[in-house]
């Protein structure tokens, strides 16, 4: 027991054996307070609750055995080995050590008894264990067996499993004396048959021998569901508090501008789809209110989100205020700048451009126009929310490909628009459809609109998977398509997260295709080009001067060339479903039947086979997203690796998606009847700062 009085909120240094150095190492596991240890759940368990007779051992099993040392010797077989032979009357097994001291070697005297735990393997002289955990027994002492299953925790350098078990033992004893506050109301627990928090924590750290380990490893045990539920609830309530905060804040009520919007719609060369019209109505209604709009537009590739955003921006500008559009890459931001310029210049509105790679003079000019209000519409990358950017009267923020930014950056741009009139309205867009249960968890601070209809005359893209051994056939197919007046993409994906290899793969493919198809005009676009070079290449392709464009995944979003009807994607087996779907969305934007060829390198693993099968079977982005979620998890789909959306400690957004409807109901119950509990739940799981610093 710790030597000084403490409780679950105490720092880890109150525990026996934890000094400053160990505390620093434990921080790498996210452990700061005693309570944090309770939520560091084991990855798996080992059964040391029963001894196994040596004669009954099987290769591959991890077992606890006990025996008498028969022989101990040091041998040299390429490297120094300590071999200890033990027996229990039913058989013998060798314990093999590669790293050992002279003192350790001296412990293994013939006749000494010990227990050891490890994986049983076949060795040169029968079964053996390599570097087992062991304990020497005093004369007459019985072999010690555990009363509970032995937990194996997430490890970090310099902190062994034994140390983590000792610390969690201490934390569990403290919890027994000072139980954590039960923050879930009894009616919520009873309705979902959830155990009490302390009971769930104790069970998961030290399960009884008869525990259903398979169910625990699957994450479906009631004790795990109890903790996952509260963690999901904490994240959900923190986001909803952002939403409620926005509803209590003021914003410019954009009630004018309808004539300008109607005129813009009349002069478009196409008619909005029913889905686009519905979403436009929802947005314009939000903008007319004196509270900040916080709306997410989900729409599959090619569904027409950009023109909907343009209508929202025009509404703001017609009301005499500024609008800003932020995109995650310069290529996509440039595409938006060109689209909005083409739409808005005839109306006398010149969109300003702001990016990180801009030269000093144009940047100064843009910053001045933004600050004094001459720039009514500003298009750019994350440079928009950097220091030194001052808006005159920013009332609408549009963020494209939201999942690539994360909420922190969205909040940072929102803060740029704080003025006497209140906060800016916010419209975020994604072409990565998010399954409903995942959207509940990740975008609980936003109202959601879905553009679930493609423009008329569009055909679903036909998709096939072809081994690279048939590359010559595919090259011939490209020739035929381009000679018939169509255009094609040849995409080289990012390989092994290497910008260098990515660049080299595109160069190599361009050289191969130039040699194979000398009669075609072939261009090249990749991430290492200067923005101006990329823009020239893309513009030449769009203007029809280039028939075949070899590109890296920089063309994943934002590139709109209706005449392109064929896409070849190399090494498709290396890529995720959502990215493949995004790339495929670059074709099928005209009125011609389009095709996508997924070139893969055989043999295919089962995961890659499943991915490619989904692309062959459906063009529905929501189906693709759901399968991607199941196959790869939410981190890839939401871009959490880049953006810092939360890593859940216990909950799993795929496995626990079915809990989200109950999480929503529970959040309403708690906010209504026990608001203090709501704040405490958020603090327990997200810390005192809340999730985004303004919760």
Q: Is 448 helix (H, G, I), strand (E, B) or coil?
A: strand
Percent of the chain with pLDDT over 90: 53
390 with 469, same domain: the answer is no
Report CA dihedral (306, 312, 313, 318) to the nearest 10 degrees: 150
Residue 626 is assigned to a structural domain of this protein = no
CA terminus-to-terminus distance, the chain: 37
37 with 58, same domain: the answer is no
Cα distance between residue 66 and residue 299, in whole Å: 63
- In 3D space, the residue among 520, 526, 488, 494 whose CA is nearest the CA of residue 507 turns out to be 526
273 with 347, same domain: the answer is yes
406 with 293, same domain: the answer is yes
263 with 391, same domain: the answer is yes
Of 558, 584, 618, which marks where a domain is finished? Answer: 618
Residue 694 is assigned to a structural domain of this protein = no
486 with 556, same domain: the answer is yes
Residue 26 is assigned to a structural domain of this protein = yes
Cα distance between residue 32 and residue 565, in whole Å: 56
CATH assignment at residue 441 = 3.40.50.300
DSSP at 386:
S
Q: Please give the pLDDT value at position 495.
A: 45
Q: Is 336 helix (H, G, I), strand (E, B) or coil?
A: helix
- Give me the chain's average pLDDT, please: 86
275 with 423, same domain: the answer is yes
Confidence of residue 81 (pLDDT cuts 50, 70, 90): very high
pLDDT tens, position by position, 321-379: 999 999 887 777 887 898 899 999 999 999 999 988 888 899 999 999 999 999 999 99
Residue 445 sits in which domain range?
Answer: 258-451
Q: What one-character-per-residue DSSP string does 390-404 give?
A: --SSEEEEEESSGGG
Distance from chain centroid for Cα 321 = 35
25 with 167, same domain: the answer is yes
Domain count, the chain: 4
DSSP at 604:
P
Cα distance between residue 311 and residue 548, in whole Å: 34
Q: Is 123 helix (H, G, I), strand (E, B) or coil?
A: strand
Residue 372 is assigned to a structural domain of this protein = yes
Question: Widest CA span of the chain, in angstroms?
Answer: 98
pLDDT tens, position by position, 254-285: 999 999 999 999 999 889 999 999 999 999 99
DSSP at 553:
G
Of 618, 649, 679, which marks where a domain is finished? Answer: 618
269 with 382, same domain: the answer is yes
Residue 689 is assigned to a structural domain of this protein = no
Residue 594 is assigned to a structural domain of this protein = yes
pLDDT tens, position by position, 280-316: 999 999 999 999 998 999 887 778 899 999 999 999 9
Stretch 52-58: mean pLDDT: 95
436 with 467, same domain: the answer is no
Residue 2 is assigned to a structural domain of this protein = no
Of 194, 218, 242, which marks where a domain is finished? Answer: 218
Question: Cα-flanking dihedrals φ and ψ of residue 637, to 5°?
Answer: -65, -40
CATH assignment at residue 111 = 2.40.50.140
129 with 163, same domain: the answer is no
128 with 165, same domain: the answer is no
């Amino acid at each position: 027991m710790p030597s000084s009085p403490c409780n679950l909120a105490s720092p880890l240094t109150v525990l026996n054996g934890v000094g400053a150095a160990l505390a620093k190492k434990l921080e790498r596991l996210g452990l700061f307070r005693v309570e944090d240890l309770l939520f560091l759940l084991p990855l798996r368990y080992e059964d040391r609750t029963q001894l196994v007779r040596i004669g009954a051992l099987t290769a591959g099993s991890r077992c606890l055995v006990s025996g008498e040392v028969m022989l101990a010797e040091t041998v040299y077989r390429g490297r120094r080995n300590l071999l200890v032979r033990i027996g229990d009357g039913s058989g013998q097994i060798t314990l093999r050590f590669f790293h050992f001291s002279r003192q350790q070697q001296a412990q293994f005297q013939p006749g000494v008894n010990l227990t050891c735990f490890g994986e049983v393997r076949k060795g040169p002289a029968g079964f053996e264990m390599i570097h087992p955990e062991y304990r020497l027994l005093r004369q007459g002492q019985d072999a010690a067996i555990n009363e509970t299953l032995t937990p194996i925790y997430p490890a970090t350098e310099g902190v062994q499993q034994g140390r983590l078990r000792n610390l969690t033992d201490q934390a569990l004893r403290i919890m027994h004396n000072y139980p954590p506050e039960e923050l879930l109301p009894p009616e919520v627990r009873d309705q979902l048959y959830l155990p009490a928090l302390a009971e769930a924590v104790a069970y998961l750290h030290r399960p009884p021998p008869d525990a259903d380990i398979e169910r625990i490893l699957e994450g479906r045990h009631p004790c795990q569901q109890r903790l996952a539920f509260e963690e999901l609830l904490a994240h959900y309530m923190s986001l909803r508090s952002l939403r409620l905060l926005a509803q209590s804040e003021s914003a410019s009520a954009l009630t004018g501008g309808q004539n300008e919007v109607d005129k813009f719609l009349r002069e478009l060369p196409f008619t909005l789809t029913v889905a686009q019209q519905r979403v436009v109505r929802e947005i314009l209604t939000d903008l007319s209110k004196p509270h900040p709009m916080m709306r997410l537009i989900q729409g599959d590739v090619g569904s027409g989100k950009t023109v909907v955003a343009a209508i929202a921006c025009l509404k703001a500008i017609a009301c005499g205020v500024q609008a800003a559009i932020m995109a995650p890459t310069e290529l996509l931001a440039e595409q938006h700048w060109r689209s909005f310029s083409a739409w808005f210049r005839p109306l006398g509105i010149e969109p300003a451009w702001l990016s990180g790679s801009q030269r000093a003079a144009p940047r100064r000019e843009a910053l001045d126009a933004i600050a004094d209000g001459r720039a009514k519409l500003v298009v750019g990358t994350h440079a928009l929310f950097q220091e030194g950017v001052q808006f005159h009267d920013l009332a609408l923020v549009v963020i494209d490909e939201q999942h690539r930014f994360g909420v922190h950056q969205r909040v940072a741009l929102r803060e740029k628009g704080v003025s006497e009139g209140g906060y800016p309205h916010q419209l975020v867009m994604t072409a990565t459809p998010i399954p409903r249960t995942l959207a509940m968890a990740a975008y609980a601070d936003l109202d959601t609109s879905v553009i679930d209809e493609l423009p008329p005359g569009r055909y679903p893209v036909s998709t096939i998977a072809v081994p690279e051994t048939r590359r010559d056939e595919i090259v011939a197919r490209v020739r035929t398509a381009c000679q018939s007046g169509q255009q094609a993409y040849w995409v080289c994906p990012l390989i092994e997260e290497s910008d260098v290899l990515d660049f080299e793969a595109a160069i190599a493919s361009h050289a191969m295709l130039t040699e194979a198809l000398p009669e075609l005009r072939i261009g090249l676009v990749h991430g290492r080009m200067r923005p101006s070079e990329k823009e020239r290449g893309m513009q030449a392709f769009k203007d029809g001067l280039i028939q075949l464009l070899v590109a890296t995944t920089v063309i994943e979003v934002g590139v709109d060339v209706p005449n392109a009807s064929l896409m070849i994607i190399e090494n498709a087996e290396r890529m995720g479903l959502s990215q493949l779907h995004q790339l495929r969305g670059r074709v099928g934007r005209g009125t011609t039947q389009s095709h996508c060829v997924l070139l893969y390198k055989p043999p295919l693993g089962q995961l890659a086979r499943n991915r490619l099968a989904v692309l062959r079977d459906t063009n529905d982005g929501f189906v693709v997203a759901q399968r991607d979620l199941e196959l790869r998890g939410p981190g890839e789909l939401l871009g959490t690796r880049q953006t810092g959306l939360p890593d859940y400690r216990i909950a799993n957004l795929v496995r626990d998606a079915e809990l989200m409807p109950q999480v929503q109901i529970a959040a309403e119950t708690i906010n209504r009847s026990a608001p203090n509990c709501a704040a405490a739940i958020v603090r327990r799981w997200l810390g005192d700062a809340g999730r985004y610093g303004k919760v």
